[in-house]
Chain A
Amino acid sequence: MRGVLGAFRELDAAVGAIDALKKTRFGDIHVFTPTPRHELEHALDRGPSPVRKFTLVGGLAGVTFGYWIAIWCSDYWPLVVGGKPIASWVPYTVFGFEVMVLIGALATVAGLFIYAGIPRLTMMVGYDPRFSHGEYGVWVECPADKAPAAEDLLRQHGAVEVRRER
Chain B
Amino acid sequence: MATVARPVTARDEPRRPNIPAADLQLPAVRDYEQVDREIIGTLRPTVKWAIGLGVAIFFLIIGASAWMYQIYTGLGVTGLNPPIMWAVYIVTFVFWVGIGHAGTLISAILYLFRAGFRTTIYRAAEAMTVFAVMTAGLFPILHLGRPWKFFYLIPYPNWRYIWPQFKSPLVWDVFAILTYLTVSATFLYVGLIPDIAVLRDRENINPVRKRIYTMLSLGWRNTDREWRHFARAYLFLAAFSTPLVLSVHSVVSFDFAMALTPGWHTTIFPPYFVAGAIFSGIGMVFTIIIPLRKWFGLKHYVTINHLDAAAKLALFTSLCVGCAYMNEWFVAWFSGNEAEKAFFANRIWGQWWWASAILYTCNMVLPLSLFVQKLRRNTAWLFIVSFTINIGMWFERFVIIVPSLSHEFEPWQWTSYKATWVEYAILAGSFGWFSMWFLLFIKQLPVIAITEIKEIVPPRLRMRHPHGITPSGEHFDFEADTPGEHD
Total A-B Cβ pairs within 8 A: 210
Q: Pick the most buried of A35, A79, A115: most chain B CB atoms within 10 A of its CB.
A: A35
- CB-CB contacts below 8 Å: B123-172 with A: 155, 161, 163-167, 172
A26 within 8 A of B: no
Assembly CA distance A97 to B455 (angstroms): 34
Assembly CA distance A115 to B222 (angstroms): 14
- Interface flags for A131-160 (1: CB within 8 Å of B; 0: not) read 111100000000000000000000000100
Residue of B221, B455, B462 near A12 (CB, 8 A) is B462
> Given A12-B461, A101-B183, do A123 and B221 touch, yes or no (CB 8 Å)?
yes
Assembly CA distance A163 to B33 (angstroms): 24
Assembly CA distance A55 to B33 (angstroms): 36
A74 within 8 A of B: yes
Task: Return chain A residues, CB-CB under 8 Å to B194.
Answer: 132
Is there an interface contact between B460 and A9, defined as CB atoms closer than 8 Å?
yes
* Nearest opposing residue in chain B for A138, CB measure: B224
Task: Return chain B residues, CB-CB under 8 Å to A52.
Answer: 232, 236
Assembly CA distance A36 to B224 (angstroms): 7
Is there an interface contact between A99 and B224, defined as CB atoms closer than 8 Å?
no
B240 within 8 A of A: yes
B103 within 8 A of A: no
Is there an interface contact between B190 and A36, defined as CB atoms closer than 8 Å?
no
Which of B174-182, B281-289, B398-406 is the interface stretch? Answer: B174-182
A162 within 8 A of B: no
Is there an interface contact between A118 and B240, defined as CB atoms closer than 8 Å?
no
- Interface flags for B186-202 (1: CB within 8 Å of A; 0: not) read 11001001100110111
> Given A77-B163, A118-B219, A132-B197, do A51 and B4 touch, yes or no (CB 8 Å)?
no
Residue of B166, B198, B201 near A91 (CB, 8 A) is B166
Interface size for chain B: under 10, 10 to 19, 20 to 34, or 35 or more residues?
35 or more
Residue of B230, B254, B460 near A36 (CB, 8 A) is B230
A1 within 8 A of B: no
A112 within 8 A of B: yes
Interface size for chain A: under 10, 10 to 19, 20 to 34, or 35 or more residues?
35 or more
Assembly CA distance A127 to B176 (angstroms): 42
> Given A10-B460, A134-B31, do A105 and B186 touch, yes or no (CB 8 Å)?
yes
Residue of A36, A51, A91 near B167 (CB, 8 A) is A91
- Interface flags for A21-32 (1: CB within 8 Å of B; 0: not) read 000000000111
* Nearest opposing residue in chain B for A29, CB measure: B224
Assembly CA distance A90 to B375 (angstroms): 46
Task: Return chain A residues, CB-CB under 8 Å to B448.
Answer: none
* Minimum distance in angstroms from A117 CB to a CB of chain B: 7
- CB-CB contacts below 8 Å: B238-266 with A: 240-241, 243-244, 247, 251, 254
A13 within 8 A of B: yes
> Given A101-B179, A109-B237, do A11 and B461 touch, yes or no (CB 8 Å)?
yes
Assembly CA distance A127 to B223 (angstroms): 9
Task: Return chain A residues, CB-CB under 8 Å to B79.
Answer: none
Q: Write the residues of chain B forming the contact surface with A, with a CB cutoff of 8 angstroms.
A: 1-5, 31-33, 36, 155, 161, 163-167, 172, 175-176, 178-179, 182-183, 186-187, 190, 193-194, 197-198, 200-202, 218-233, 236-237, 240-241, 243-244, 247, 251, 254, 451-452, 454-455, 459-463, 473
